Structure formats: structure tokens, C-alpha cells
Amino acid sequence: MTNQQKDNLFVLVKSLSKSEKRQFKLYVGRLGGNTDSKFLALFNLLEKLNKYDEASILKSGIVKKAQLSNLKAHLYKQLLISLRLNPLHQNIRVQVREQLDFATILYHKGLYKQSLKILDKAKNMAINNEEKNIAFEIVELEKVIESQYITRSISSRADELTEQAKWLSIQNTIASKLSNLSLQLYGILLKTGYIKNDEEYRSITTYFNDRMPKFKLEEFGFREKLWLYKSHLWYSFLIQDFLSCYKYADKWVAMFYSNENMITLNPVFFLKGNNYLLESLFFIKYHSKFKETLEKLEHIIYQSNLLPSEDNVSVLSFLYVANNKLNLHFLEGSFKEGLPLVDEILKGIKQYPNRIDEHHIMVLYYKIASLYFGAGDSRKCIEYLEKIINNRSLQMREDLLCFSRILSLVAHYEVGLDYHLDVQLKSTYKFLIKMNDLHEVQKEMIKFLRSLGDIYPHQLKKEFVKLHAKLKTFEDDPFERRAFLYLDILSWLESKIENRPVDEIIQEKFLKLKR
């Protein structure tokens, strides 16, 4: 039996909205001969199934096993054609591509004048909407047609098209170089994580500077600036320069607000830019700007008509709003006030089956666990951390797994689960030994937790003070400070030393730093 997650056709069928399903049936039925077709019968069966079951399909008698693969491929193709015809998916990019297809057909029929007229209109639409790759394709086809459709203006047209092709080629080349650099930096971040020392800083800086093309910013359009800001953003994240992250994410988002039509045309880039901006603001603890940015984003998502009604947009909107609402409570120390978000987030996860990858779900679980920990409910915190620690089917970022284990140890200590703490310590220690890039903060935490069994109760406060002093030295270390963003261990230690709730400590810090 094929796994539901891996059967592309089944996932596509289940992703369809009611209107998309209705349109598909109308599309199939436009010719009487298709109403009883096998692929429609297969579609109706898949629509009713809760999970992909090949045995049920074969048992239905619709198709024999040898023909099933071909029938599924045919249904998949027909679904894509139907979706392409849906007005909801007719954005500028699709419209320009469609006009290019029409012009190509007219050209092959020898109707050169009609073809050129459509191409000129499509080219202007493409350039105005920063679709320069398609615009270049259009110019190349115009050149082919003009070489066969002889007119008195051929000389001036030749010069005009040559200049346009040259300009578009330069723009596309520099955009390609910048997008390559952005992707390469993102790949490095996923593979090796953030820099850990001066040597890595020098290496990544050289890598970035060597691959940054020469350019004049005033010659850039929207698309080129977008890739430039993305490249700088990933470099800034890699070197943990969060102020610079804020600077470039802010430029990225500001471009969209200055060109609102681009929000509709490139909704994913708009949402991601806002998410990186909010992440940067969270790291530098710029509360007022964080709140303002989040409110502005929610207004665009829920109260404007700028974002298209697409599944991808809906999923990203949910993820980014949920993550950043949690981050707002972490900034403010308002953990208890944030607890109602948990049900809202869990409902959202259920609402988008097969759409949210497991890694993003685990990140949400970690944040929910942190919310419960801050609210003083360590048992609930442990419950969500175990979902991460016990997940054997997912290759997650090591830092997420590492801090999940450390927070779990602290939570076990909080609720007095001594036996479980000992088991957790051994398991966590084995896990951390395998990690190549253990932070000093993590090492000190493990050292302290391993020594808990040898510390008498009356000595605890003194030991907390010692650990706090050690960790405090790392707070402003450029290569260590990120550890405190995952887990505010200093505030927890201060709560133990002062015998006060951790959320109270964080709230006091927030009020002092509030801006």
C-alpha cells in the first residue's frame, strides 16, 4: 500500500476546494463522451477515500493493476489543466504565458502580424510586472518573426528589439547571480548552521564578497533589489548580525508596501519577507516595531484583498502569524496570556493536513512547550517536548533537538521527577556528544544538571548563582548569544535565585528594555 503522504495524485485530489472539484467535473463533462470515463470514476473514488488505498481502487473494478499507473498519470494531468483554467489561478504570470502560447500558435499558422500584436502587448505586461524572463522569451520570438515578416520599418525594429534583448539579458543575468548567491547562502545555513568562530566568519565573508556581482542600485528593478536584499539577509543571519538582518528585511518588505500589486503577484515573497523582518525584530528585542509589523501583516492577510486565495498562501499565513504571536508573548513575558493560542494553533495544524511539513510542526511544539514552561506548567511543557524528542521519522535541525532536550531536563527538575531526570540526563548526554557544534552555554548547562545529584538542597542557591555568573559572560558573545534566544536560561536561574516566577522576571526585563 502506498503511503498517503507519498501518493501525489491523492494529495492533489484532497487539496482541491469545493469550487475546484465542481469546476473539474464541469470541465470533464464539457464533452458527453467523458462523463463515464475511467479517470472521472477514479477521481470520484479518491475523493471519498480518507487515505490512499490501492487495494480499494482495484477492488472497485475501475481499472486493472497494470493500467492503474497510466490512469493515475492521465487524471493528474487533467486536474492540472482544469486548475490552470480556474480564474483563481489566472495571475499575471499565467496570463502572460498564455498570451505567448497564443502568439506562438498564430506564428506557426503564418499570421505574423496578429502574432506580433499579441507579443507586444504581452511583453509590456511582463516588463511592467517584473516578469523579465518571460519578457526575454517574447523578444526572442519577436526577433524570429520580424526576420520573416518583412516591413519597411524592419531596420528600426531590429535596433529596438536588439536593445531590448540586451537590456533584459543583463537584468536577467544579474538577477540569476544574486538568486544563486541567496540560495547558496541558505544552503550553507541549512548544512552547517550559524558561524561559530572568527575563522568561519572570515571564510563566509570572503565567500559572500567574491560572489556578489558588481552593480548600480539605481539600475535595478523590483526583482533585482529583492534578490540583493535576500542575499544580504542570509549573509547577515549566517554571521548572526541581527541588526543587519533587520535592515535588509525591512528594505525587502518596504518594497512590497510601495508596490502593492507585487503583493498580489508574489505573495509568498511578501509573507516570507515579513516573517524574516519579525524574526530579526524578535532577536534584537525591538518590541514596538515588532508589534506594529505583526499588526500590519495581519491586516493584509485578514482584512485586505491583496493576497490571492491560494492554499500555499493560507498555510504560510497561518504559520507566520502563529509563530510570531508566540514570539510576541515571549518578548513581553506574557506567557499565561498566550496560552489560549495553543488550541488555535493545534486547530490550524489539523486544518492543513499534508500542507505543513513535520519540521515546522515540531518548531511550533517547541514554542508551545516554552510557553507552558514560562507559564509555570512544566508537565505540559514536557508533554510537547516529548513529541519532538521521540520523533524518529524526522531529520530536524540539531539545535532544535538539542534545546528541546535541555529544556526537558530543566522542566523535569522543576516538577521533581528525579528518576526521569537521571534517565533524561544520560540520553541527552549521549545525544550531545554526537553533536559537533556544541555551544559553551549548552556545555555549562549539562555540566550543572549532571552535578545536581551531588548538591545538597541548602547549597542549591549558591550553585545557581555560580552558573548564572558563568552564563552571563556569554550573553553578549557574538557566537554564543543565539543560545539564549532558544531558551532564556538566565531568567530561569534568576527566578530560582530570587524565588520568583520566571514570567515575572522576564516581564520586568521587558519593561526596562521596552521601546
pLDDT at residue 249, rounded to an integer? 97
Segment 444-453 shows an average pLDDT of 74
Question: 314 or 480: whose pLDDT is higher?
Answer: 314
Higher pLDDT, 391 or 326: 326
**15 in helix, strand or coil?**
helix
Distance CA 410, CA 382 (A): 10
Residue 435 pLDDT more than 50?
yes
Reported confidence tier of residue 189, pLDDT bands at 50, 70, 90: confident
Instruction: Tell me the mean pLDDT in the region 481-487.
Output: 73
pLDDT at 504: 87
Mean pLDDT of 186-208: 87
| Angle between helical axes of 440-450 and 398-415 (0-180°, round to 10) | 30
Residue 412, judged by CB atoms within 10 A of its CB (0-12, 13-18, 19+), counts as buried
Q: Which of 89, 2, 115 is nearest to 49 (CA)?
A: 2
Place of cell 537590456: 167
The set of residues, in sequence order, having a beta carbon less than 8 Å from that of 501 and lying 6+ positions away, is 376, 495
The better pLDDT of the pair 390, 124 is held by: 124
In angstroms, rounded to a whole number, what is the distance separating the alpha carbons of residues 280 and 285? 8
Please say if the pLDDT value at position 413 is more than 50: yes
For the ranges 141-155, 317-331, 464-478, which has the lowest average pLDDT? 141-155
Inter-residue contact 407 to 369 (CB < 8 Å): yes
pLDDT per position as a tens digit, 466-481? 888 888 888 878 777 7
Q: What pLDDT score does 453 carry?
A: 66
pLDDT tier, 3 (very low <50, low <70, confident <90, very high otherwise): very low
Task: Report the phi/psi class of residue 455: left, alpha or beta, with left for phi > 0 and alpha for psi in -120 to 50.
Answer: beta
Q: Give the helix/strand (H/E) hosting 399.
A: helix 398-415
Query: Which sign does the torsion angle of CA 207, 279, 331, 369 carry?
Result: negative
Q: Is the dihedral of CA 214, 219, 223, 229 positive or negative?
A: positive
Q: d(Cα 320, Cα 278) in Å, to the nearest integer?
A: 9
Check pLDDT > 50 for residue 46: yes
Residue 1: pLDDT band with limits 50, 70, 90:
very low
Which alpha helices (DSSP H) does 18-153 contain, by range? 18-28, 38-48, 54-59, 65-85, 92-108, 112-128, 132-146
* Domain architecture of the chain: domains with CATH: 4-89 (no CATH), 92-151 (1.25.40)
pLDDT at 36: 57
Of the given ranges (27-36, 169-178, 196-205, 337-346), which has the lowest mean pLDDT?
Answer: 27-36
Q: What DSSP state is assigned to residue 436?
A: S
| Residue 47, pLDDT above cutoff 60 | yes
pLDDT of amino acid 5: 47
Do 268 and 313 meet the contact criterion of CB atoms below 8 Å apart?
Answer: yes
For residue 213, what is the DSSP state?
P
Task: Let me know: does 443 contact 469? Beta carbons within 8 Å.
Answer: no
Residue 323 and residue 275 in contact, taking contact as beta carbons nearer than 8 Å: yes
Long-range contact set of residues 162-168: C-beta below 8 Å, sequence gap at least 24: 164/123, 164/139, 165/136, 165/139, 165/140, 168/132, 168/135, 168/136, 168/139
Most confidently modeled range among 1-15, 27-41, 297-311, 390-404: 297-311
Task: Identify which of 182-196, 201-215, 426-440 has the greatest average pLDDT.
Answer: 201-215
- Per-residue pLDDT at 102: 94
The percent of residues in the chain predicted with pLDDT above 70, rounded, is 90
Write out the three cell numbers for 357: 511539513
pLDDT at 2: 40
DSSP-assigned letters across all residues of 57-84: HHHTTSS-HHHHHHHHHHHHHHHHHHHH
Cα gap 71→79, rounded to integer Å: 12
Q: What are the tens digits of pLDDT across the range 287-298?
A: 999 999 999 999
pLDDT at 365 exceeding the cut of 70: yes
Select the highest-mean-pLDDT range: 90-99, 270-279, 408-417, 452-461.
270-279
Model confidence at 4, in pLDDT bands (50, 70, 90)? very low
- C-alpha dist (Å) from residue 12 to 57, 65, 328: 17, 21, 35
What's this model's pTM, rounded to 2 decimal places? 0.83
Q: Which of 236-240, 255-259, 461-465 has the lowest average pLDDT?
A: 461-465
What is the C-alpha to C-alpha distance for residues 313 and 290, in angstroms, rounded to an integer?
Answer: 21
Q: What is the average pLDDT value for the chain, to the nearest integer?
A: 86
Reported as a pLDDT band with limits 50, 70 and 90, residue 367 is very high
